[in-house]
Amino acid sequence: MSDDLFTPKNPWFSRSVGITLGILAVTALGGFVLLPYAQPDLKLAGLWDAICSAAGVPKAPSSAAPVQPDGKLTRVVVTSALPEAAAPEAVGRGATLAQQCAICHGPTGVSRADSPNLAGQYAAVVYKQLMDFKTGARVNAIMTPFAVNLSERDMADLAAYYAYLPKLPGYHPDQDRPAPRIVINGAPLRNIAPCGSCHGALDNKTGSPWLEGQPAAYIKAQLQAFASGSRRNDISQQMRNVARRMTPQEMDEAAEWYASQPPTLVHTTMNE
Tell me the pLDDT tens digit for each residue of 143-201: 999 999 999 999 999 999 999 999 876 665 555 667 899 999 999 999 999 999 999 76
Q: Is the pLDDT of residue 3 over 70?
A: no
Interhelix angle 123-135/152-164, nearest 10 degrees? 150
pLDDT of residue 266: 41
- At residue 44 the predicted structure's pLDDT band, cuts being 50, 70 and 90, is low
* pLDDT of 2 higher than 50: yes
What are the pLDDT digits (tens) for 84-129?
A: 777 889 999 999 999 999 999 999 999 888 999 999 999 999 999 9
3-class state of residue 97 by DSSP? helix
- pLDDT band at 268, cuts 50/70/90? very low
The C-alpha atoms of residue 153 and residue 64 are separated, in whole angstroms, by 40
Pick from 26-40, 46-60, 238-252 the range whose average pLDDT is largest.
238-252
Give this prediction's pTM: 0.71
Give the residue with greater pLDDT, 222 vs 18. Answer: 222
Q: How many CA atoms lie within 13 A of 147 on its CB side?
A: 22
Evaluate whether 32 touches 51 at the Cβ level (below 8 Å). Answer: yes
Amino acid at 267: H
